[in-house]
Amino acid sequence: MDFIIEAAVKAVKQLYQTDIEPAAVSIQETRKEFEGQVTIVTFPFTKFSRKGPEQTGTEIGEYLKNELKEVASFNVIKGFLNLSISDEYWISQLYNTITADDFAIAKPNGQKVMVEYSSPNTNKPLHLGHIRNNLLGYSVAEILAADGYEVIKTNLVNDRGIHICKSMLAWQMFGNGETPESSGLKGDHLVGKYYVLFDKELREQLKPVLHEVYEKHNLSAFKENQKVKIEEALATIAKVKEKRAQVEEANQKVIGELDEKIGAEEDKIKEIAKNATPIMLETQQMLQKWEAGDEEVMNLWRTMNGWVYAGFAETYKQLGVNFDKYYYESNTYLLGKDIIEEGLAKGVFFKKADNSVWIDLTSDGLDEKLVLRGDGTSVYITQDMGTAQLKYNDYHMDKSIYVVGNEQDYHFKVLFLILQKLGKTGSEGLFHLSYGMVDLPSGKMKSREGTVVDADDLMAEMKTTAKTEIDKNGKVDEFSEAEKMQLYHTVGMGALKYFLLKVDPKKRLLFDPNESIEIHGHTGPYIQYTHARIKSVLSLGDYQPGIKPVLTELADVERDLIVLLDKYPDAVKEAAKGYSPAIIANYVYELAKTYNKFYHEKPILKAEDEDSKQFRLQLSASSAKVINKGMKLLGIEVPERM
């Protein structure tokens, strides 16, 4: 409410002969227990008034009431001036602002932002964690576009590396020429099947290798440097076990710490032993052939990746997300080496005796970080530096948002800091949208063991659950089969998306499919049902857009609804600033709740007079419009009827 801020600046000038900037006026929503809609914090003005906050608030309140016809009354609670805005103002806002076609459509702000999300591996299908990533990325992109940004949605596909070769080798070993067509499986599911089979075979081959290590201490299968590492680890385990035996049983904390040490050393041995198994040696050889451009390996890689991309396309379509640009790690993994040379020349990086290149970030509270191996090969951060430069060269964006889980927090701190130290253009606009993992009542998910919640299966389950819930009430009996199927999809996906987006991205969450589908409560279906209810009211009431009945007084619930509708543009701005779809999700829920309160308290079709009826229809139509707008920013459709 800029007009209130402007008037408050004038009030301080006139009352206390002091010029202040508009930014010095702090306004907020009035707390529910007090009368009013807008509150001005008066504490900062006491140094000009040389009076207490209550008297200062009263003087400013009197000034505003006299100068602004929009201020109907005021009250002062300690250092807070609560203003009641007139009903005429709110009615005018509904008719002239909220119902306008361009309501909450921001003008282009001249800034360009890239949102990178999804970033899948091509060795397995998408799972529940990917769903949260995709929904967050897509929704943030839509919110930023609504706030006036030019948005580029990108997807960096991890389509190369040892994990990709695992699926390829397992298909060669066990596939017998199986294809998506011959198996009836989606391509990404088929490739994921062989990733699981690889891990199963690896575990079988690992058993005798570990037996040699622990039972026979026969290390002939290992290279000399690996033998030394294993001997050192075994010696450490022996010492720790001896120390553990000497610790009294009561000292559980010390015993726990010693067990952790033993476990860490055993993990080292297990990792070395894995790489000594025949299947891992073959996988490493396949990766070397891929990097050398071996035609047979490259053809298999192209074929299997093609299967995966076709599968991903189906999943993305069901999920309702899209991308403007795809980047592929197979095209970017060699990038960044020129940046290393640049950094060495600038003194940002340094070389160690083994020729490896590092950066010292200890003065920034971080560690030393390897950026290039001694043999000249890249590490992940090398590639990421190069890819960041490539993306900037392509689009020259003002901001670049990486939607990646919080397990990569440290990586992105280091990446952004390096790019800033190198003075890279655009590095100040980099942002890691870090989000928490998604858990299930059954526990964590593990891709290699095939225990993940598959995205396609989950979406199918949500539609089935939606069908069960919708069919219970019998209100869709007159729907055609096509209409029913569309409704099941709309409600099922709405439930899934809303449940994952209503929570602040930073928070870890527990996804409960049954809770998400409930028609009552803080859910997507509740909001969808509210929209369908409004559409039914408008249809039955023969709503005519553009009618502006003359009213001078509002009921409390009518005023509350208009006030909330009027806040929608601010909710969009706040969500864009914080990269948080949860702000929109919770706003729309509050709007649906407030509308339902209005619906139950005030008759619409049987209103006391025609003006009241048309006004309430206008208010209903505006509520439906804003619910639809808000849910679209979350990637959620709202049905016309349910």
Share of the chain above pLDDT 90, in %: 87
* Cβ atoms < 10 Å from Cβ of 544: 11
Q: What is the dihedral of CA 252, 253, 258, 260, to 10 degrees?
A: 110
Write phi, then psi, for 221 (nearest 5 degrees): -75, -5
**What pLDDT is stored for residue 249 in this prediction?**
65
**What pLDDT is stored for residue 389 in this prediction?**
96
> Across residues 260-284, what is the average pLDDT?
95
pLDDT tens by residue, 20-37: 999 999 999 999 999 999
**What pLDDT is stored for residue 444 in this prediction?**
47
How far apart are the C-alpha atoms of 300 and 537, rounded to whole Å? 58
- What angle in degrees, to the nearest 10, is found between the helix axes of 581-601 and 556-566? 160
> Across residues 560-576, what is the average pLDDT?
97
pTM of the prediction?
0.92
Helices and strands per DSSP (H, E), number in the chain: 24, 14
**What pLDDT is stored for residue 42 in this prediction?**
95
**What pLDDT is stored for residue 221 in this prediction?**
86
Mean pLDDT for the chain? 94
| pLDDT band, residue 250 (cuts 50/70/90) | low
**What pLDDT is stored for residue 23 in this prediction?**
95
Listed in sequence order, the residues at least 6 apart from 89 whose beta carbon sits closer than 8 Å to its beta carbon are 70
> Across residues 317-329, what is the average pLDDT?
97
448, pLDDT greater than 80 = no
92, pLDDT greater than 50 = yes
> Across residues 222-248, what is the average pLDDT?
91
367, pLDDT greater than 50 = yes
Length of the chain: 642
> Across residues 384-401, what is the average pLDDT?
97
245, pLDDT greater than 90 = no
440, pLDDT greater than 80 = no
451, pLDDT greater than 60 = no
> Across residues 427-456, what is the average pLDDT?
76
> Across residues 172-191, what is the average pLDDT?
97
**What pLDDT is stored for residue 44 in this prediction?**
94
How far apart are the C-alpha atoms of 111 and 142, rounded to whole Å? 15
| pLDDT band, residue 381 (cuts 50/70/90) | very high
**What pLDDT is stored for residue 251 in this prediction?**
81
> Across residues 445-469, what is the average pLDDT?
78
**What pLDDT is stored for residue 442 in this prediction?**
63
pLDDT tens by residue, 112-144: 999 999 999 999 999 999 999 999 999 999 999
Please give, one letter per residue, the 3-state secondary structure of 42-95: CHHHHHHHCCCHHHHHHHHHHHHHHHCCCEEEEEEECCEEEEEECHHHHHHHHH
**What pLDDT is stored for residue 449 in this prediction?**
47
> Across residues 478-507, what is the average pLDDT?
96
